[in-house]
């Protein structure tokens, strides 16, 4: 029996694919807010809505998340980001998660970036 080496790429730009699916696992590229407001809560909500849409496109949803990595421009935003996260996350199926402070692309306009992995 030949191993399954098929790879599905969604929303590929040539530089990156927004979602890559392999062996029933969806890997989402880093997601930043479309609206660059100075409000971390609004940017977090925007990012999570995009993650919902990408997961749906891949045939999954947030209840099937395995892992989420979160990068914050400033750890001072941690509590406000978590408030939005806590209202969004499926608490019965919470993923493994890490949050770190990092210099993000976008000349300071991006306050949060998230990358997720989920079962399809």
- Give Rg (Cα) of the chain: 15
45 Cβ contact partners less than 8 Å away, ≥ 6 residues apart: 84, 88
pTM, two decimals, is: 0.93
Q: In order of start, what are the domains of the chain with their CATH numbers?
A: 30-115 (3.30.1330.40)
Q: Which residue has the tokens 């914050």?
A: 72
Q: How far is CA 55 from the centre of its chain?
A: 9
Question: What share of residues in the chain are helix, strand, coil (percent, to 5)?
Answer: 30, 30, 35
89 Cβ contact partners less than 8 Å away, ≥ 6 residues apart: 62, 95
- Pull the structure tokens for residue 39: 């409000």
The arithmetic mean of pLDDT across residues 48-63, rounded, is 98
Q: Report the pLDDT value the prediction gives residue 1, as an integer from 0 to 100.
A: 63
63-117 residue pLDDT tens: 999 999 999 999 999 999 999 999 999 999 999 999 999 998 877 799 999 999 9
């Amino acid at each position: 029996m030949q191993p399954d080496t098929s790879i599905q790429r969604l929303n590929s730009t040539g530089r990156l694919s927004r979602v890559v699916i392999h062996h029933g696992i969806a890997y989402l590229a880093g997601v930043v807010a479309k609206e660059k407001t100075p409000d971390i809560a609004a940017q977090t909500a925007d990012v999570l809505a995009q993650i919902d849409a990408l997961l749906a496109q891949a045939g999954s949803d947030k209840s099937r998340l395995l892992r989420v990595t979160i990068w914050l421009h400033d750890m001072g935003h941690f509590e406000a980001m978590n408030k939005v996260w806590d209202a969004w996350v499926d608490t019965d199926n919470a993923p493994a998660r890490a949050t770190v402070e990092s210099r993000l692309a976008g000349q300071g306009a991006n306050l949060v970036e998230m990358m997720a992995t989920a079962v399809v």
